[in-house]
Structure 1
Amino acid sequence: MEPGLKDKLCNNSDISNMKAVRDFSRELLERTAFTHVGTNGGNNSERSVRCNVENEEFLIPYNSRFYCSCVIKQCHELAGYKYDIVIADPPWWNKYIRRLKETNNKLSYSMMYNEDIASIPVKTLLADNSIVAVWCTNSPSNITAVKNLIFPSWGVEYVATWYWMKVDIQLKPLCPFSTGSKKQPYERLIIGKVGEVNHVPDDYLFMSVPSALHSHKPPLIDLLKEYVKKENPDILELFARYLLPNTTSVGYEPLKLQHISLYEVVS
């Protein structure tokens, strides 16, 4: 651990009003519930740019591309492209999300059954030597589905499970470890491969203070790129909620967390 990391987190974090943080998160989700289906774009330059989409301003990272579209449909249309790293954060069927949808449609997204996720034509988009990383809930049925249904359908061999530990600014787990179906302080990242890649360790643990925004996962590129042999890998993210440099992002919400209101100018 970096020396002084805990002190840096404490000094740069204001936890005096968690209600304000939760209220801001809900307000932001409502405010960024844009409908951009059919909007495609990108930034081929070496610096981030601001762009206007339907009278809203967004920040587009350098060397990035996005498709606001159904993931299954867009993957068919991307046929011919090959990617060295594919990251997916599927909208697993979830009772909490279903209740949330009934309360406020703006705060939800369409859930998918395991068979629907398996039907995504990822296999046609994978380079000969590539890595696939899938965010998965702690549901035993979903874990089994990734290993025994989804990966085989995609032509992917399972190699490892990683764990994202969610911690507070004291670097302690956000909630107690539990048994059964109770909430856990971690999420799983299930990793598979095609062809030859560098050795991927199993039971790898990485941690961060999570975002206040629902389902906002940490970026993974810096963690994954060392395991592919290509120096500058081509990267595809499915069900994306934000954009990353050198990445093609696909889903209904790739611009969601790119809205200019979320950023501040630094000198």
Structure 2
Amino acid sequence: MKRFYCGCVKEQCLKLDGNKFDIVVADPPWWNKYIRRLKNANEKLSYSMMYNEDIAAIPVQNLISGNCLIAVWCTNAPSNVAAVKNIIFPKWGVEYVGTWYWMKVTVDLQPLCSFGSGCKKQPYERIILGKVGDINDIPDDQVVVSVPSALHSQKPPLLDILTPFVKTENPQTLELFARYLLPNTTSVGYEPLKWQHESLYEEVT
């Protein structure tokens, strides 16, 4: 079953109270200076950014099953990485278990850009993993490799690679800040149908 709730993530999660999910994936709109500059130039190019404390205030802890795997997409900013581990996960009642990396490559399997240092753009993003209860052992520093979508900020679906680590058969998944629908997933956010638009698909005859 797949369903979606369109609106403020915090408010929609309150409506879901009583539901329990075995996998939770979140792609928060982290506060970002680059996006802020785009917003100043053109309002349509931006989205509503959130402070770390506001993300932590989303009542995820009420929606987590007794044995749940949580994955949070995170920028490489040290402040955001620390916030997931030290603010957001503790508020949600989640134990940090490891970090994976999404390596973005070209069709020739080369890094999308050079590896930088400091605040320079990197060819990878982080997936910070946490758990509640009992799940299968998760390897740390796993690398997920794919060619990124041409659509801004679209992440690859994680359901198939996360499912083997939960012990529930046919796990129910919650995706926060969703932009497209996935099987057996409850999608929540302002744009859960954004990348379902027919203009993004070609008709096959």
**Do these two structures clear the TM 0.5 threshold for a shared fold by scoring above it?**
yes
State the identity as a percent. Answer: 71
Secondary structure in structure 2 of the residue aligned to 1:169 = coil
**In the alignment, what sits opposite 1:105?**
43
Secondary structure in structure 2 of the residue aligned to 1:151 = helix
TM-score, with length taken from structure 2:
0.98
User: 1:201-226: CA deviations, max 9, x gaps?
Assistant: 10000100001111000000001000
- The equivalences for 1:14-33 within 5 A come to none
> What's the offset of the Cα at 1:266?
2.6
Letter in structure 2 aligned against 1:199? D
Secondary structure in structure 1 of the residue aligned to 2:112 = coil
Letter in structure 1 aligned against 2:120? K
User: 1:6-40: CA deviations, max 9, x gaps?
Assistant: xxxxxxxxxxxxxxxxxxxxxxxxxxxxxxxxxxx
Structure 1 unaligned spans of 5+: 1-62
| Higher RCO, 1 vs 2 (CA within 8 Å, ≥6 residues apart) | 2
**C-alpha RMSD of the superposition:** 0.8
Secondary structure in structure 1 of the residue aligned to 2:35 = helix
**In the alignment, what sits opposite 1:183?**
121
CA distance in 2, matches of 1:229, 1:264: 37
Pair 1:65-2:3 in alignment = yes
> What's the offset of the Cα at 1:99?
1.2
> What's the offset of the Cα at 1:245?
1.3
> Of the candidates 146, 155, 161, which is equivalent to residue 208 of structure 1?
146
Secondary structure in structure 2 of the residue aligned to 1:160 = strand
Secondary structure in structure 2 of the residue aligned to 1:75 = helix
TM-score, with length taken from structure 1:
0.76
**In the alignment, what sits opposite 1:167?**
105
Secondary structure in structure 1 of the residue aligned to 2:100 = strand
CA distance in 1, matches of 2:40, 2:118: 26
**In the alignment, what sits opposite 1:116?**
54
Pair 1:88-2:26 in alignment = yes
Pair 1:126-2:64 in alignment = yes
> What's the offset of the Cα at 1:265?
2.6
**In the alignment, what sits opposite 1:222?**
160
Letter in structure 2 aligned against 1:171? L
Pair 1:254-2:192 in alignment = yes
**In the alignment, what sits opposite 1:22?**
none
CA distance in 1, matches of 2:36, 2:122: 20
> Of the candidates 198, 203, 209, which is equivalent to residue 136 of structure 2?
198
Letter in structure 2 aligned against 1:124? N
**In the alignment, what sits opposite 1:47?**
none
CA distance in 1, matches of 2:161, 2:118: 29
Pairs aligned (count): 205
Structure 2 unaligned spans of 5+: none
> Of the candidates 143, 148, 154, which is equivalent to residue 81 of structure 2?
143
Letter in structure 2 aligned against 1:128? G
CA distance in 2, matches of 1:235, 1:223: 13
> What's the offset of the Cα at 1:96?
1.0
Letter in structure 1 aligned against 2:110? K
User: 1:33-88: CA deviations, max 9, x gaps?
Assistant: xxxxxxxxxxxxxxxxxxxxxxxxxxxxxx31011110011111100000000000
> What's the offset of the Cα at 1:110?
0.5
**In the alignment, what sits opposite 2:177?**
239
> What's the offset of the Cα at 1:101?
1.3
